[in-house]
Amino acid sequence: MYFEQFYLSCLAHASYLLGSEGLAAVVDPQRDVGIYLAEAQKHGLKIAYIIETHMHADFVSGHQELAARTGAKIFLSVQAGAEFSHVAVEDGGELRLGRVVLRFLETPGHSVDSISVLVTDLDRSPRPWAVLTGDTLFIGEVGRPDLSPGRTAEELASMLYDSLHQKLMTLPDSVEIYPAHGAGSLCGRNISPERHSTIGKERRLNYALRPLSREDFIKLVTADLPERPDYFFRDKEINRAGAPSLAEMPHLVPLAPAEAARRQADGAVVLDTRPAAQFGAGHVPGSLHIALQGEYASWAGMLIGIGPQVVVVAEDETRAEESAVRLARVGIENVVGYLDGGILAWQQAGLSLAEVPQISVLQLHEELRDRPDAVQVIDVRRPREWETGRLDRAVLKPLHQLRENLSDLDREKPIAAHCKGGYRSSIGTSILKAAGFRDVMNVVGGLDAWQVHNLPVVAGSRRACGS
C-alpha cells in the first residue's frame, strides 16, 4: 500500500494520497492539485477516486479540477448537498483500491455531512490500521460545532458526542488517526502540532474525550470558540458548487505605480506580502501587511474577504504569483495585479511611503520602565493566549477584531503592537496605520522574545481587555 500525507502549513491543512495495485484515492485535496498528479505518476498510480470528508469551510477544495483532469469519481456524504456529479456515501459503505479497503463512517458534529474513512491494508492485516477523521477528531482536540447554518452549536455538539463515542472511540487503540487539520487551524481551538496519533493516545490525552456526560461535553466544546470568519460560509458555497480550475483564473498582470495607486483609490486592497522588516522600512500608505509565510492565506481570508480587488506588493514576480495562488486557496480570486518593480518603483515614481519602526523587546521594556505612560501597548493575540500571560501594561485587541476596536486608543500617543512572535503584530500595525494612527511600532519577536530575555509577565485576565 502507498500512503502519503501532504501538509499545507499556511492553512494547517492535511490531505492524503492512498494507493494499491495501480489505483489511488485523494482525500480532502487542496485547491492546486498538481502535487497529487505528480506523486501519483511517480508511483505508477491512477487517481480514480476523490473523497471529501465534508464540505470544507476554511479553504477551497480542488476536487472539481482533479476530477476533470483524471476522470476520478468524487465521493461525498449523502448529507453534503453538492451540486456537481458525485457518489453519495452512507455509513458502512466501502471502496476498494487493490488490496486496500476504505470504509465510510458517518461522523457528523463538526458539520452535518462529516464522514471519516477507515483504512484497511489487507497485506498488513484484515483489521483497520488507520482512520482519516477529517475535522471530526484532531490531535488533542475535536472539531468545532458551529459552522453549519441551520443547526445550533449545541445540536452539532450533541451529534459530535455520538460520533466520537459510538463510532471513533469504539475502534482499537492501535488504529492510527490522520486528521484534515493541524495546529493553527480555526476548525478547532487548540490542535496539537503533531501530524498523526492513535485512538489509544487520544483516549488518554485528548481533553474532549475524557469521561463526560453529553451535557457536560456540549458545554465544553461550545465554550470559548474561536472567531468564525465570514469567508468560511462563502468557501462552503464554492465547494458545494465545485470551484473552477486555477488555470481559468486571470493571469496576474504587472501594474505601474500610477495604475496601482489608481486601483487603490478606487477601493482595491493593496496587500504587502514582504517580510515585516521590509514593510516597516517603507510601504504603500494604507496597505495591508500580511507576510507570505505562516498562516498567510487564513489571515487574508479573514481580513480581506472574498469580494474586494487586490493589488499585491511582493519582492518579485515569482513571490507575487505565489501570493495569488495562496489567496485562491481560500477563494480570493480577484487579484488584479502586482506592483511592477515593487516598492522601489513606487518610490522612484515620486509616490510617498509610510513606515513602521521595528523595536526590540528590550527597547520597549526600557520605555515602559522609564516612561510608563508614554506608550500604549496593544496585544493582538487571541483571548486564550492572553490568559496564559501578558505584559503588565498591555491592552488586549485581538487581531481579527482590531479594525472595530480602536475607539479607546489615543491617536496622539505612540502605540507598540505585539503578539506571540511578531507576525500578527505587523499585520496589526498596518491596520492601525491605515486607520490614521501616525506613531505605530512593531515589537520584534513579540512575547516569545520578551520571555527569552526574562522580562516580567503577569497572569492574564479578561477584565484587562480593552475590547
Query: HSE on the CB side for 18, CA within 13 Å?
Result: 25
pTM for the model stands at 0.91
Mean pLDDT value across residues 98-104: 97
Is residue 378's pLDDT more than 60? Answer: yes
**Which H or E run includes 4?**
strand 2-8
The domain limits of the chain are: 2-235, 249-348, 358-464
Q: What is the pLDDT of residues 63-94, one digit of tens each?
A: 999 999 999 999 999 999 899 999 999 999 99
**CATH level 3 topology of 358-464:** Oxidized Rhodanese; domain 1 (3.40.250)
* CATH for the stretch 2-235: 3.60.15.10
Q: What CA–CA distances, in Å, run from 234 to 9, 150, 229? A: 22, 15, 10
Is-contact 51 72, C-beta < 8 A? no
Closest among 110, 104, 61, 59 to 82, alpha carbons compared: 61
Q: What is the pLDDT of residues 284-319, one digit of tens each?
A: 999 999 999 989 999 999 999 998 999 999 999 999
Q: What is the pLDDT of residues 5-60, one digit of tens each?
A: 999 988 999 999 999 999 999 999 999 999 999 999 999 999 999 999 999 999 99
Strands (DSSP E) along 90-223, which ranges?
94-97, 100-106, 115-121, 130-134, 176-179, 197-198
CATH homologous superfamily for 249-348? Rhodanese-like domain (3.40.250.10)
Q: What is the pLDDT of residues 427-466, one digit of tens each?
A: 999 999 999 999 999 999 999 999 999 999 998 764 444 4
249-348 and 358-464: identical CATH topology? yes
